[in-house]
Structure 1
Amino acid sequence: GITPIESLIRINYAWSDGEIISEDLLYMDMDKFKQDFTKAYREALGILFEMPFFSEDMTDDYIRKATSEAILLNAIIFGEGIQAPSHVEPKVEEKEPEEEEEEEEEVGIGGLFG
């Protein structure tokens, strides 16, 4: 049958519409690109929050920012610690369903071998 292979050829330059494309554009580091994009987005939001106009689609973000700044100022003025938000609900572990799952897996694997 036909199997896929990995090519060991590395392209140093490419030609497109009369322009030479260098190796660093051909083999872009996607992780670095994602980090740069995320950083640019956060910086743009920071600039937006400092602008003297209001955008209705950002209402929730404005409220979150105002709340966090109010909590910070309250802590600075009254000398209290800043509490971390507690939005996480405690997990209730049920041991019985896990044991049942393990038993099912053992039966399934045992059925494969014999």
Structure 2
Amino acid sequence: MSYVVIATMIAKPGQEDLVEKTLREAAAEVHAEPGCARWALHRRTGSAGHFVMVEKWESKEALAAHGKAPALAGIGRVLKDALEGPADVVVYDALPAGDAGKGAL
């Protein structure tokens, strides 16, 4: 079973570029973590400071390891004063439906 994570972060005014840069720079390291099937950055249309990370992890163990990985710790250190508050992180169980290429992340 795979796990989908939606992590929402809101940058403080003036910190939008730092947040985007930090998340973009961490991507290669996170993508190399065992069990990472997707770690994709998005920004809310029309809102420079609202970021959403859409993630997919191959197992509960991979997701747990990601939570303790150096990349995530580094992101936390850099962004600790750049965000309005802690990231809102929600984990979902994947429920594929319909067309295999369209019905699941």
Higher relative contact order (CA 8 A, sep 6+): 2
TM-score, normalised to structure 1's length?
0.20
Give the number of the structure whose residues are more often helix, by fraction: 1
TM-score, normalised to structure 2's length?
0.21
Give the number of the structure whose residues are more often strand, by fraction: 2
If you compute each CA radius of gyration, which structure gives the higher value, 1 or 2? 1
